[in-house]
Amino acid sequence: MNLLKSILSSLGKDAAKEVEERELELLQANVSLTTIERLKEELKGKKNLKEVLKDLLKSGKFEGTPVVLFVGTNGSGKTTAIAKLAKWYMDRGVHVIVAAADTFRAGSIEQLEEWRERIGFDLVKYHYGADPAAVAYEAVKRRKGVVLIDTAGRQETRRSLMEELKKIKRVVKPDYTVMVVDATQGVAALEQVRKFDEEVGIDGFIVTKLDVDEKGGLILSLCVETGKPVFFVSYGQGPDDFSPFNPEEYLDNLL
């Protein structure tokens, strides 16, 4: 009876007011202040917070057998997400080539070789210091299905990383450019997102480490502040700790 009452009362509740009441809770879950302020403005007069948030959250879907370029800062989880997405496609009978176009970070090629042994995707690799665009181009040339392009997260200078990513994009014209974002970075990640979007242009996100930042309020901020979708989420080190983003499940956990 109490449950029914609370459901009925939450249905009738003003969504903006509910955001206001839950402000601290949302901040603690790593939803940005900008997002909260925006929600308070935009949700005025609307009812049922969960329903209106569901409309703001976007779950992206890769159409067909795409070429996907992965970008993001060092340690955000690009290489791991690539291995998991490769497995996800291979479980569905799709051929996958991974391009080891992070030719900068020591160990990055070996990391992909280890994943290849476990998962069995095709790997195109050159050597450290090679032109990342050339590696990516070769992978696309050999394409039999999906192509996933790994990239470096950091260079001697930021500028050269952005130039490198732009060059890859020019040369291979990926179907999707996806930014991998570490949920534990919280609102600090939003600044990075703006930079990558301005410089390289991104189509959406894969959000990682949701096993560490369990509420993952960053996802709400990403959707509200960029209007771009989240394609997949990652929540662990295992190859199957990975799935398409499900807004409904996410909201049940956040609120």
Ligand X SMILES: Nc1nc2c(ncn2[C@@H]2O[C@H](COP(=O)(O)OP(=O)(O)O)[C@@H](O)[C@H]2O)c(=O)[nH]1
Other residues' Cβ atoms within 10 Å of the Cβ of residue 49: 23
Q: Least distance in Å: CB of 82 to Mg ion?
A: 8
Other residues' Cβ atoms within 10 Å of the Cβ of residue 247: 20
The answer to the question of residue 77 lying near ligand X (CB under 6 A) is yes
Contact 54, 244 (CB under 8 A): no
Residues 195-234 close enough to bind ligand X by CB under 6 A: 208-209, 211-212, 234
Among 66, 145, 236, 239, binds ligand X (CB under 6 A): 236
Q: Binding partner of residue 33 among Mg ion, ligand X, none, CB under 5 to 8 Å per kind?
A: none
Q: Least distance in Å: CB of 75 to ligand X?
A: 5
Q: Least distance in Å: CB of 152 to ligand X?
A: 8
The answer to the question of residue 235 lying near ligand X (CB under 6 A) is yes
Report the distance separating Cα 162 and Cα 252, nearest Å. 37
DSSP assignment of 202-237: --EEEEE-TTTSSS-HHHHHHHHHH-PPEEEEE-SS
The answer to the question of residue 79 lying near Mg ion (CB under 5 A) is yes
Contact 209, 184 (CB under 8 A): yes
Residue 47 or 116: the one with the smaller Cβ distance to ligand X is: 116
What DSSP character marks residue 14?
Answer: B
Residue 35 or 79: the one with the smaller Cβ distance to ligand X is: 79
β partners of residue 27? none
The answer to the question of residue 87 lying near ligand X (CB under 6 A) is no
Report the distance separating Cα 4 and Cα 25, nearest Å. 23
Residue 72 or 247: the one with the smaller Cβ distance to Mg ion is: 72
Q: Binding partner of residue 212 among Mg ion, ligand X, none, CB under 5 to 8 Å per kind?
A: ligand X
Residues 94-123 close enough to bind Mg ion by CB under 5 A: 108
Residues 129-158 close enough to bind ligand X by CB under 6 A: 153
First to last CA, the chain: 21
β partners of residue 208? 182
Q: Binding partner of residue 72 among Mg ion, ligand X, none, CB under 5 to 8 Å per kind?
A: ligand X
The label of the residue with tokens 């990926």 reads 174
Q: Least distance in Å: CB of 230 to ligand X?
A: 14
Other residues' Cβ atoms within 10 Å of the Cβ of residue 150: 29
Residues contributing to the site for ligand X (CB under 6 A)? 72, 74-80, 153, 180, 208-209, 211-212, 234-237
